[in-house]
Structure 1
Amino acid sequence: MDEIFLMNNVFIIICFVLVLLMQGGFILLEAGSTRMKNAGHIAGKTIFTVGIASLVFWAVGYGFIYGEGNLFIGLSDFFYGDFTSEVDGLAGSVDFMFQLAFAAIALTIAFGGFAERAKLSAYIVFAVLFSAAVYPVVAHWIWGDGWLAGLGKQDFAGSTVVHLTGAMAALAATIVLKPRIGKYNKDGSANNLAGHNQVYTALGVLLLWVGWFGFNGGSTLGVEGAFFGYVSLTTQLAAAAGALAAMLTVMALTGKADVPTMLNGALAGLVAITASTAFVATWAAVVIGLIAGVLVYLSMLFFDKMKIDDPIFALSVHGVAGIWGTLSTGFFATPALAEMNGGQAGLLYGGGLAQLGVQFTGVAVSGIYAFVAAFIILKAMSAVLGGIRVSEEEELMGLDISEHGSYGYPENIREDEKFGA
């Protein structure tokens, strides 16, 4: 067997493991960003929804994305089990595992809009429907030889496919579920329902940062030419710039170096560079990260002002930064890297508005589809399940005890956390 073939497959399996371990980062990020009385629930639901996403992706998701079909949906390779095929220089099963990890990440992002108020049954049903009917459609359009791929849409590792799709589903959830009890006052002012553990949140971000090298680096699909090294470099620079820009922005506006904002800045830089990591020069990666860091904080303020209760900041980190990152290739894609990885050069390299127009089209249609599909699914679920939000009493006592019968911190839970807002 060819040595390069083996090396490529080992590399991608390692990248799959890194992306799968990002779920651990999300557990710590989401648990740390919410209140103590919901921590066990957050950890548990992440594990079983990754399980659901895996089974649905095996049954239909992979086929809808990569199966033979038409420009809008794939229609083969359901209940995947081919051990003889090769895809993009990889064993088919290795490619399947890597793509599965991305589908699970998109679902976890979407669940940010459910935090601290959704019934466990809502997670179960939505996990099935999102993994079958929302994520695969957008992924097919861009990564599965769909109509956006035919236009030359640039999205190397998923600023649109994974992050924007998940964020728009999270937006639909925040609208359908409405804000948490105590988040907004009658006069419209917002209360800070602070997360219970900033150390967890920071560690979660670090785990996500490390996992991103599998996310972006693995999207090269091999080791030949060691291009994954360059992709890793632009990824690192954008994340660093995002953290710095977010910190400076919040300090300039409030006088304090707010920790959650710094952490979200790093994530915003990572999300933004995900589409463009293989298309841009290193200086552009820094600029992309800097702008993402500023945008993430300003959008956090905007969504709070609009009374959109987003405890995990999925809309800002994954939505706004995902949009910016996708559009950024239309400005910064170099001729050489665009020729190597698909699409056209960006505006700043004499490519005109063509690639920027394709990027904008991809963002608009993908975002609208993900939002509308998720909104319809959630509304239908609410009608069939008799509501998808827990009762006021259950929300006040916390989802740990109301949905699972035990606290994530049984010895340390405070009395005010048991029954207070």
Structure 2
Amino acid sequence: MNTIFLMNSLWVMLAAILVILMQGGFILLEAGSTRMKNAGHIAGKTIFTFGIASLAFWAIGYGFIFGHGNAVIGLSDFFYSGYDIKGLEVSGAVYFLFQLAFAGISLTIALGGFAERGKLSVYIIFAVLFSILVYPVIAHWIWGKGWLSTLEQQDFAGSTVVHLTGAMAAFAGTIVLKPRIGKFNKDGSANQIHGHNQVFTALGVLILWIGWFGFNAGSTITVKDSFFGFIALNTNAAAAAGAISSLFISWLHSRKADIPTMLNGALAGLVAITASCAFVETWAAVIIGLVSGIIVVYSMKFFEKIKIDDPIFALSVHGTPGIWGTISTGFFAAPKLAATVGIGKAGLFYGGGFSQLAIQILGVAAAGVYAFAISYIILKIMKGILKGLRVSKREEMIGLDISTHGSYGYPEAFHKHKFEKSAQSQVFEEAAQ
């Protein structure tokens, strides 16, 4: 066993840990972005759905991506048993864990569209089916020697494979489940349902930002030539630019520096650079991030206008920036970097013509349509079998913490509220007598 094999394995193991730790970032982000009465539920479902995804990916999902098969799907290597992979200078078990972490992130994004109203059974069943029928198919097309891989679509770490796929599944979820109670008025106007803790949200974004260095830089799968450092540089530049541009656009519209919008801008920059981080120069990474920060603001406004209730903004943070980030390599891919990675051609702005741009657009369209269509069909079938996907109105009103799990995420706060209400009622009753 040579030194480079050991170093690669350690690097990819560290990257896998960082990506799995991103689940903690999502817990804080989603819990902080929703209401207190659902905080415990959101934290808990993130853990158990990652557990479901882990087993489904081990049994079938990994084989569908990387197994020997055809241009559409892999058909071998099910129930992965830890063997090393021919042609890779890295431990096979470590590589499996790294790929599993990506599948878990895509599922978490998808389930964000169900927030504050989905039944527990829906999370469980959809987690299994998404981890087998949705994510692995698209990952095979682009990363597993599928038809988009043959065309050399440039998606280095998953703007399309991970983020757009998850966002389109979330889109299907928001449509089938319909908006939360009180989100929209009869005249079509929207009410703001604020998250309960901006500190949680900000800390979640910071954890995700750090985890993204494992997400993008770890996708080199090697320490050779220290190329991972350049990818980390691009990743950070895009995130910073996204945060700044979204904050500026928010202030321009409302004369207020909206914190959730700025946080979403940082995430949008991270999502967009995920596809292009290995293909573009750093100045281009800044532009990609700046555009992402603008896109996310107007995307949030657009989806609210068409009455799509997206509680954690999965569509606006992971969907539209995922599209932009994937397409951006068709403009900005530098010849030297494309040659270094060995995928695709130079972008339009480097004289590469429209061919790579066309491939990027094709890949986005195919993956987006497939993820949405299959997720929508799955949910419609589940709706019929389960006699609905949503909890009852009463359960939604009192919150999923108590109605689904029998305990509050913030028991002291709710017990105090209950005590105060009881005391007030007693005073009113005594006054009435």
TM range (shorter): over 0.9
Q: Give the letter for the 2:78 counterpart.
A: F
- Is 1:397 matched with 2:402? no
Question: 1:192 and 1:222 mapped to 2: Cα distance?
Answer: 46
Could you say which residue in structure 1 is the equivalent of 2:324? 324
Question: 1:175 and 1:83 mapped to 2: Cα distance?
Answer: 42
Deviations 1:300-339 (A, max 9, x none): 0000001000010000000000000000000000001111
Deviations 1:18-72 (A, max 9, x none): 0000000000000000000000000000000000000000000000000000000
Question: 1:402 and 1:12 mapped to 2: Cα distance?
Answer: 41
Could you say which residue in structure 1 is the equivalent of 2:297? 297
Could you say which residue in structure 1 is the equivalent of 2:427? none
Q: Give the letter for the 2:7 counterpart.
A: M
Q: List gaps (5 residues or longer) in structure 2.
A: 422-433
Question: 1:359 and 1:174 mapped to 2: Cα distance?
Answer: 26
Q: Shift in Å at residue 415 of structure 1?
A: 4.8
Q: Give the letter for the 2:362 counterpart.
A: T
Q: Shift in Å at residue 84 of structure 1?
A: 4.3
Question: 1:415 and 1:332 mapped to 2: Cα distance?
Answer: 55
1:197-236 map, 5 Å: 197-236=197-236
Greater CA drift, 336-345 or 26-35? 336-345
Q: Shift in Å at residue 91 of structure 1?
A: 1.5
Q: Give the letter for the 2:272 counterpart.
A: A
Deviations 1:62-99 (A, max 9, x none): 00000000000000000000334445211111110100
**How has the CA–CA distance of structure 1 residues 84 and 264 changed in structure 2, closer, same or farther, with 3 Å as cutoff?**
closer
Could you say which residue in structure 1 is the equivalent of 2:430? none
1:242-281 map, 5 Å: 242-281=242-281
Could you say which residue in structure 1 is the equivalent of 2:424? none
Q: Is the 8 A contact 1:153 1:358 kept in 2?
A: yes
1:38-117 map, 5 Å: 38-86=38-86, 88-117=88-117
SS of the aligned residue for 2:411 comes to: coil
Question: 1:50 and 1:393 mapped to 2: Cα distance?
Answer: 28
Could you say which residue in structure 1 is the equivalent of 2:362? 361
SS of the aligned residue for 2:154 comes to: coil
Structure index of larger Rg? 2
Q: Is the 8 A contact 2:4 2:89 kept in 1?
A: no
Question: 1:25 and 1:276 mapped to 2: Cα distance?
Answer: 23
Question: 2:91 and 2:240 mapped to 1: Cα distance?
Answer: 34
Q: Give the letter for the 2:309 counterpart.
A: D
Deviations 1:221-274 (A, max 9, x none): 010100000000000000000000000001001100000000000000000000
Could you say which residue in structure 2 is the equivalent of 1:130? 130
TM-score by length of 2: 0.95
Q: Is the 8 A contact 1:38 1:408 kept in 2?
A: yes
Question: 2:346 and 2:112 mapped to 1: Cα distance?
Answer: 35
**How has the CA–CA distance of structure 1 residues 392 and 368 changed in structure 2, closer, same or farther, with 3 Å as cutoff?**
same
Could you say which residue in structure 1 is the equivalent of 2:375? 374
Could you say which residue in structure 2 is the equivalent of 1:166? 166
Deviations 1:357-381 (A, max 9, x none): 0000000000000000000000011
Could you say which residue in structure 2 is the equivalent of 1:120? 120
Q: Give the letter for the 1:247 counterpart.
A: L
Question: 2:153 and 2:297 mapped to 1: Cα distance?
Answer: 28
**How has the CA–CA distance of structure 1 residues 353 and 313 changed in structure 2, closer, same or farther, with 3 Å as cutoff?**
same
Question: 1:256 and 1:87 mapped to 2: Cα distance?
Answer: 53
Cα root mean square deviation, aligned = 1.2
SS of the aligned residue for 1:153 comes to: coil
Q: Give the letter for the 1:402 counterpart.
A: S
Q: Is the 8 A contact 1:87 1:95 kept in 2?
A: no
Could you say which residue in structure 2 is the equivalent of 1:145? 145
Q: Give the letter for the 1:226 counterpart.
A: S
SS of the aligned residue for 1:217 comes to: helix
SS of the aligned residue for 1:89 comes to: coil
- Equivalenced residue count is 418
- Is 1:35 matched with 2:35? yes
Question: 1:165 and 1:221 mapped to 2: Cα distance?
Answer: 22
SS of the aligned residue for 1:412 comes to: helix
Q: Is the 8 A contact 2:159 2:271 kept in 1?
A: yes
Q: List gaps (5 residues or longer) in structure 1.
A: none
Could you say which residue in structure 1 is the equivalent of 2:348? 347
Greater CA drift, 334-343 or 370-379? 334-343
Q: Is the 8 A contact 1:177 1:388 kept in 2?
A: yes
Question: 1:43 and 1:87 mapped to 2: Cα distance?
Answer: 39
Question: 2:54 and 2:391 mapped to 1: Cα distance?
Answer: 26
Question: 2:253 and 2:347 mapped to 1: Cα distance?
Answer: 33
Question: 2:165 and 2:87 mapped to 1: Cα distance?
Answer: 25
TM-score by length of 1: 0.98
Could you say which residue in structure 1 is the equivalent of 2:426? none
SS of the aligned residue for 2:22 comes to: helix
Q: Shift in Å at residue 340 of structure 1?
A: 1.6
- Is 1:196 matched with 2:196? yes
**How has the CA–CA distance of structure 1 residues 148 and 84 changed in structure 2, closer, same or farther, with 3 Å as cutoff?**
closer
Q: Give the letter for the 2:67 counterpart.
A: G
Question: 1:415 and 1:180 mapped to 2: Cα distance?
Answer: 23
**How has the CA–CA distance of structure 1 residues 263 and 199 changed in structure 2, closer, same or farther, with 3 Å as cutoff?**
same
